[in-house]
Amino acid sequence: MEIEIKFRVSEDIKERLESLNAKFVGLEVQEDVYFDVPLPKLLRVRRISNLGKSYITYKEIMDRNNEEFYEVEFEVSDFNLAIEVFKRLGFDVKASIKKERLIYKLGDVTFELNKIPGLGNFLDIEVISDDPEEAKRKIWEVAEKLGLKKKDVEPRLYIELVNELSSRSS
C-alpha cells in the first residue's frame, strides 16, 4: 500500500530537504489526465514528458484523510491512445493537471516536491508499506525535521484542488 501525506510548502523546503541529506533522484515534468470514476476510485493516465514515459494508474483511497492508497500502475507505449481507449469506453475526463516534480529519497521515504501552476508548492511524503500506522510515524518523523506541522497538511486530492480552482475562477 502507498501511504502518503501531502503538505503545503514554501519554495525554501528544497534547502531543508537537502540539509536533511535526502538524495535528489530526478525531475519529472508530469501531465496527468484524471477520468471521472466514483471516489474512492481514481483513474489516471500520466505522461512524464521529459522522460518520454507514460503510465496508467488506478488507485483506491483506503482512508478518510486521503493518506492510504491501494495502487496499480503499469507503463504504456502511448499516452494519447491510452486516453482515447478510456474515453471510448465511456469515461469522461475530469481534470488535467500539469506539474513539475523534484524527487528525493531518504531511506525508504520518498519526497515528491510538486510545483503546480495556479495551486502552489506541495510536498508529498510517501512510504510503501503494509503497516499504515508505522508508515505515518515514519513520515511525521521526517516531516517534523523539515519543520512541517499538522496545519500544513493538505488533505484534499490534487484533482479536488484543481477542480475547486477552476470552479472559483469560472
| Chain residues that interact with its own copies, rule: CB under 8 A | 37, 41, 43, 56, 58, 60, 72-78, 81-82, 84-85, 88-89
CB nearer to its own copies: give 52 or 89: 89
CB of 80 to its own copies, least distance (A): 9
CB of 116 to its own copies, least distance (A): 25
C-alpha neighbours within 13 Å on the C-beta side of residue 137: 5
CB nearer to its own copies: give 64 or 88: 88
CB nearer to its own copies: give 77 or 169: 77
> Cell numbers at residue 76, please?
504504456
Cβ within 8 Å of residue 29, ≥6 positions away: 48, 49, 50, 98, 100, 101
CB of 158 to its own copies, least distance (A): 20
- Estimate the share of the chain in helix, then strand, then coil, as percent rounded to the nearest 5: 25, 45, 25
